[in-house]
């Protein structure tokens, strides 16, 4: 029988990474002046790890989508496609198929649940990043829709929208600060 160290057990059980995740979550809460609740931050960091998405990127997306309020009850302005709802600002025509892709139930009211909203955003980001292979296209598609991404690329010759730049730059700043500490 092979000897197993406590460090090996901790790594296998995820305890090894928990302090790191907790530290990242605390950074998000602090950066938001408490607007982004600690339980949300812990959930986002843990689920981001599961999807291999930078938690700072997911956080910055939520920050942009809510105008920095992180309001789970947010109803976005009227557009020609309707309103967007919740912390992740999903349209009612997009959210059901993402929920289906995630294996989750769908009801309009669930869009106002912060954990459900974050889960949908991570599933959608994972799908878009897998589909396009880069964050410029994935984030621009998140913001404009997949058809809107194609239109943006036709008009601009690239997919690096203000939305994609802002989220990636701010996420990179978090990572730089985290590495410095």
| pLDDT for 175 | 64
| pLDDT for 180 | 47
Average pLDDT over residues 76-92: 94
Q: Where along the chain do its domains lie? A: 52-180
Residue 1 has pLDDT above 80, yes or no: no
Q: Which residues of 65-90 are buried (b: 16+ CB within 10 A; e: fewer)?
A: bbeeebebebebeeeeeeebbbbbbb
* Domain 52-180 = CATH 3.40.1360.10: no
| pLDDT for 4 | 56
pLDDT in tens, 104-130: 999 999 999 999 999 999 999 999 999
Average pLDDT over residues 72-80: 94
Statement: the pTM of the whole predicted model exceeds 0.85: yes
| pLDDT for 107 | 97
pLDDT in tens, 10-46: 454 455 577 888 999 999 999 999 999 999 999 999 9
| pLDDT for 159 | 96
Percentage of residues of the chain with pLDDT beyond 70: 87
């Amino acid at each position: 029988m092979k000897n197993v160290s406590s460090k090996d057990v901790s790594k296998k059980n995820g305890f090894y990474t928990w302090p790191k995740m907790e530290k990242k979550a605390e950074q998000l809460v602090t950066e938001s002046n408490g607007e982004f609740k600690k339980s949300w931050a812990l959930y986002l960091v843990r689920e981001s790890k599961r999807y291999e998405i930078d938690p700072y990127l997911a956080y910055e997306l939520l920050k942009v989508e809510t105008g920095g309020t992180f309001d789970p009850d947010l109803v976005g302005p009227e557009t020609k496609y309707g309103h967007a709802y919740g912390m992740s600002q999903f349209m009612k025509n997009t959210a059901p198929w993402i929920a289906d892709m995630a294996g989750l139930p769908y009801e309009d009211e669930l869009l106002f649940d912060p954990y459900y909203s974050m889960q949908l955003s991570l599933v959608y980001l994972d799908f878009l990043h897998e589909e396009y292979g880069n964050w410029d296209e994935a984030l621009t598609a998140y913001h404009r829709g997949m058809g809107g991404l194609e239109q943006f690329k036709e008009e601009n010759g690239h997919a690096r929208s203000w939305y994609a730049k802002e989220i990636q730059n701010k996420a990179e700043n978090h990572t730089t600060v985290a590495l410095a500490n």
